[in-house]
Amino acid sequence: MRVAFLTAPEGVEEIELTRPWKAVLDAGWSPRLVSTEPGTVQAMRHLDKAGTYAVDRVLTGRTDESFDALVLPGGVANPDALRVSEAAVAFTRAFFEAGKPVAAICHAPWTLVEADVVRGRTLTSWPSLATDIRNAGGTWVDEQVHICRAAPATLVTSRNPDDLDAFCAALVKVFGD
């Protein structure tokens, strides 16, 4: 299974990228870092710079059908940048349209709101996104991890880095089904 990890060139919360990446590797799958620009992605530890990670694939205006699932790591700046990228929004929306599973943590549901895929779904996130999710037609819940199996695609969401154990376990289970 090939799993896309979609990030902006900077601002992704490092642990929300690396822990799910390790879970995907441990499941025997192939993670790929997808970004809106070539080169490297600058990760963050909250507001401080952390590691950099090489981009495997640059988004273009088309959907890459070679991926089986999508992970959207958080960080405040990362999803805020992705939601204004037409290519990132289209890429995200395409996973839902194709019925492929998606996992998003912390602030990452901002990209889902922009892709107009939360309507009729229940999800969790960093609490400050609750109003955005409700305004986009979704139902926000305060849970460690929430799995929404609304057609056509299953969505795994989680609130923050403290929930990473549950998030990683849930995405591996959902992606493996």
List the chain domain ranges: 2-176
Q: What residues does 128 pair with on adjacent strands?
A: none
Of the pLDDT bands very low, low, confident and very high (cuts 50, 70, 90), residue 60 is: confident
Phi, psi of 25 (to 5 degrees): -60, -45
Active-site residue list: 106-107
Which CA distances in Å does 145 have to 44, 84, 86, 96? 22, 26, 28, 19
Residue 62 binned pLDDT confidence (cut-offs 50, 70, 90): low
Please give the mean pLDDT across all residues of the chain: 96
pTM: 0.97
Tell me which architecture the domain covering 2-176 has in CATH.
Answer: 3-Layer(aba) Sandwich (3.40)
Amino acid at 51: G
Q: Answer positive or negative: Cα dihedral of 6, 52, 164, 26.
A: positive
- Segment 153-167 shows an average pLDDT of 98
pLDDT above 70 covers a percentage of the chain that reads 98
Contact in structure between 78 and 11 (CB atoms under 8 Å)? yes
Distance CA 32, CA 27 (A): 14
Do residues 103 and 164 make contact, with C-beta atoms less than 8 angstroms apart?
Answer: no
**Residue 70 burial (CB < 10 Å; 0-12/13-18/19+)?**
buried
Q: What is the pLDDT of residues 73-107, one digit of tens each?
A: 999 999 999 999 999 999 999 999 999 999 999 99
